[in-house]
Amino acid sequence: MSPNQPGQPPKLPIPGVKNLIAVGSGKGGVGKTTVAVNLAVGLAKLGYPTGLMDADVYGPNVPLMMGINRTPMAYGERIQPLDQYGVKLMSMGFLNPGDKPLVWRGPMLHSVIQQFLRGVDWGQLDYLVIDLPPGTGDVQLSLIQTAPVTGAIVVTTPSDVSLEDARKAIHMFNQVKVPVLGLVENMSWLKCPHCNEHIDVFSTGGGSRTAKEMGVNFLGELPLDPVVRIGGDTGRPVAMRGESDERAAAFFALAKRTVDRVAVESAAPAPQITIED
Ligand SMILES: Nc1ncnc2c1ncn2[C@@H]1O[C@H](COP(=O)(O)OP(=O)(O)OP(=O)(O)O)[C@@H](O)[C@H]1O
Ligand SMILES: [Mg+2]
């Protein structure tokens, strides 16, 4: 778990939730939500009680990608998460259906994130996956400063612009002492449907190279695959196909590596923070 920071409120655990995994990136549109959704479905299919919290308050895509949009019930003060494909879900999209954008400022964002973390009946979960909005802004900081995040997964494509922003995201997590579970490279290659050749649409090898340079683990490559996009657009994530399906296999490999990395991080002593005068 990431340690408490001096001058910040203590990071209280979320009762019943063993591990919080934040999925972030510096750059938008690199596949965070796709990774978060398929990681959550993959973990659930592997038998781990799992939840998925959509922290992209302004642009929530989890309802569409998980194929569900209903207003959650509340019992007393407690919001009941929706359940889809064995994953417990909470998203701003369930509370603000339709295309109308929200115009909120920092303090309101902060309270929504707190509500989602602590006002939702998550029950007993091994993993709560958190889909972050792009960048290194208010939501990320609010979450990281108050939630006991076990570790973060940083998503990038192999292109230089995406890698540059991934480095910024890794720096942000390092600065706030959230362990980086690893870097995952999305859209790594496209398999030609005619000749099976791998086409490096966004370049190649950048993810593993950057992970090495930054001293973080490399969690693997995910192919650029129309089936992944269709799964997102139709609300049936590709991981629903199961571990033995060739098109879903990379996401299950990611889920298993994540489980291993979380186990290592949970066993590691929390880093010491020195308080400077
Ligand atoms: N491996 C992939 N193969 C094919 N399409 C993909 C893949 N990963 C993501 N996509 C598609 O790319 C688009 C952007 O993905 P996604 O919404 O997951 O990115 P994001 O990083 O969450 O974006 P944002 O920063 O806006 O939150 C979506 O249409 C998604 O279906
Ligand atoms: Mg997203």
Question: Distance from the CA of 159 to the center of ligand 1, in angstroms?
Answer: 15
pLDDT digits (tens, 9 = 90+) for 165-216: 999 999 999 988 899 999 999 999 999 989 989 898 888 899 999 999 999 9
Check pocket membership of 61 for ligand 1, CB cut-off 6 A. yes
pLDDT digits (tens, 9 = 90+) for 5-53: 666 666 889 999 999 999 999 889 999 999 999 999 999 999 999 999 9
Q: Which is more confidently placed, 77 or 161?
A: 161
Q: Which residues, in sequence order, are bridge partners of residue 120?
A: 79
Asked if 113 and 142 count as a contact pair (C-beta separation under 8 A), the reply is yes
pLDDT at 9: 61
pTM above 0.85, yes or no: yes
pLDDT digits (tens, 9 = 90+) for 252-277: 999 999 999 999 988 877 655 444 44
pLDDT at 144: 82
Nearest to 59, CA basis, from 106, 92, 107 = 92
Mutate to test the pocket of ligand 1, among 229, 230, 246 (most ligand atoms within 8 A of CB): 229
Check pocket membership of 29 for ligand 1, CB cut-off 6 A. yes
Diameter of the chain by CA atoms? 64
